[in-house]
């Protein structure tokens, strides 16, 4: 790993640019390696592989993906990301910056983010969408490896559509979070929490209705052409089952945006 100065963590930014014709920019850096995993058709696919699976305290890593007008891109990852403690006690920062141009479509489907004991990760995801862009975005946070207490995890997802705010959600858990995060208003003892966001201009004409998905998950239409699934589960496997189920149901009413 690059040791820029004593005590400093890794600094790395990976960049992806997708156009209808290809991927003119596919640039990993440091521990962030990118692989083109499907080159056929108009729908490009990139998999994030490698040691990004472990941001340590003090690291500052970032991924930028730009989907230009009319392009279609899926980004997934080869493995879960595990936040681990660093040597300095400093937090790690992980920034994700996504943009989708007119008529473009992005499926952002990374594996889970696992907050290991003693870690401290600040994750910031910003998405800028054109008015007619489409997005499927999944986030899953797991509090601790099996049977482990979680570290401190603070995430924020901010989505703008046509320059206006569409969704802004911050979550904070673990010993460094404000009180009450494990109480019955926030997590209620669940150890896995996930969100699936779907933005599609077609939802303006045929909005979905709010519905419960079991006892601890809900699908809610946002105040724009989008819906959000918010799910809580005891563990990562059960959480993924809920989000996969809604992905399957979604294929029925929105075939264009089927997950994967």
Partner 1 sequence: MSRAALLVLADGRFPAGGHAHSGGVEPAVKAGRVHGAASLAEFCRGRLHTAGLVSASLAAAAVLGLDPLALDEAADARTPSPALRATARKLGRQMMRAARAAWPSASLDALAVARPRGAHQPVVLGLAARAGGLSASDAAHCVAYETVSGPATAAVRLLSLDPFDATRVLAGLAPELDVVAERAVRAAVSATAEGLDALPAASAPLLDVMAEAHAAWPVRLFAS
The answer to whether 29 and 14 are in contact (CB under 8 A) is yes
Q: Enumerate residues 6+ apart whose C-beta is below 8 A from 169.
A: 156, 157, 195
Stretch that binds partner 1, among 35-43, 68-76, 158-166, 244-252 (CB under 8 A): 158-166
Which positions ≥6 away from 187 have C-beta within 8 Å?
143, 173, 181, 193, 232
- Residue 187 interacts with partner 1 (CB under 8 A): yes or no: yes
Stretch that binds partner 1, among 65-73, 79-87, 173-181, 242-250 (CB under 8 A): 173-181
User: In the complex with partner 1, which residue's Cβ is closer, 12 or 166?
Assistant: 166
Burial class (CB in 10 A: 0-12, 13-18, 19+), 238: middle
Q: How far is the CB of 64 from partner 1 (least distance, A)?
A: 18
Q: Which of 116, 127, 167, 246 binds partner 1 (CB under 8 A)?
A: 167
Pairwise CA distance, residues 102 & 129, whole Å: 8
Question: Taking CB under 8 A as the criterion, which residues in 194-233 touch partner 1?
Answer: 210-212, 215-218, 220-223, 228, 230-232
The torsion angles phi and psi of 144, rounded to 5 degrees, stand at: 90, 150
Tell me the closest approach of the beta carbon of residue 191 to partner 1, in angstroms. Answer: 12
Residues 6+ apart with CB under 8 A from 117: 85, 144, 145, 148, 149, 150, 151
158 binds partner 1 (CB under 8 A): yes
CB of 258 to partner 1, least distance (A): 22
Check residue 170 for interaction with partner 1 (CB under 8 A). yes
CB of residue 20 vs partner 1: minimum separation in angstroms? Answer: 30
Q: Which residues bind partner 1 (CB under 8 A)?
A: 156, 158-159, 164-172, 178-188, 193, 210-212, 215-218, 220-223, 228, 230-232
């Amino acid at each position: 790993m690059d040791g820029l100065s004593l005590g400093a963590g890794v600094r790395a930014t990976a960049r992806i640019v997708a156009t209808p014709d290809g991927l003119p920019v596919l640039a990993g850096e440091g521990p962030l390696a990118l692989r083109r995993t499907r080159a056929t058709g108009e729908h490009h696919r990139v998999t994030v592989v490698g040691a990004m699976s472990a941001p340590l305290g003090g690291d500052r890593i970032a991924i930028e993906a730009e989907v230009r007008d009319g392009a279609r891109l899926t980004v997934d990852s080869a493995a879960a990301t595990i936040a681990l403690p660093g040597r300095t006690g400093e937090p790690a920062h992980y920034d994700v910056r996504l943009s989708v141009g007119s008529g473009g479509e992005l499926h952002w489907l990374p594996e889970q983010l696992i907050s290991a004991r003693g870690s401290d990760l600040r994750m910031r995801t910003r998405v800028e969408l054109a008015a007619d862009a489409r997005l499927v975005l999944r986030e899953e946070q797991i509090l601790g490896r099996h049977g482990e207490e979680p570290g401190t995890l603070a995430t924020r997802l901010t989505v703008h559509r046509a320059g206006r705010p569409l969704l802004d959600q911050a979550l904070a858990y673990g010993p460094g979070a404000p009180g009450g995060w494990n109480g019955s208003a926030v997590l209620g003892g669940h150890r896995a929490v996930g969100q699936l966001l779907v933005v599609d201009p077609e939802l303006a004409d045929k909005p979905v209705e709010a519905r419960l998905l079991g006892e601890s998950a809900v699908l809610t239409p946002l105040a724009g052409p989008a819906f959000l699934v918010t799910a809580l589960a005891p563990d990562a496997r059960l959480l993924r089952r809920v989000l996969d189920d809604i992905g399957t149901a979604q294929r029925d009413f929105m075939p264009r945006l089927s997950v994967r």
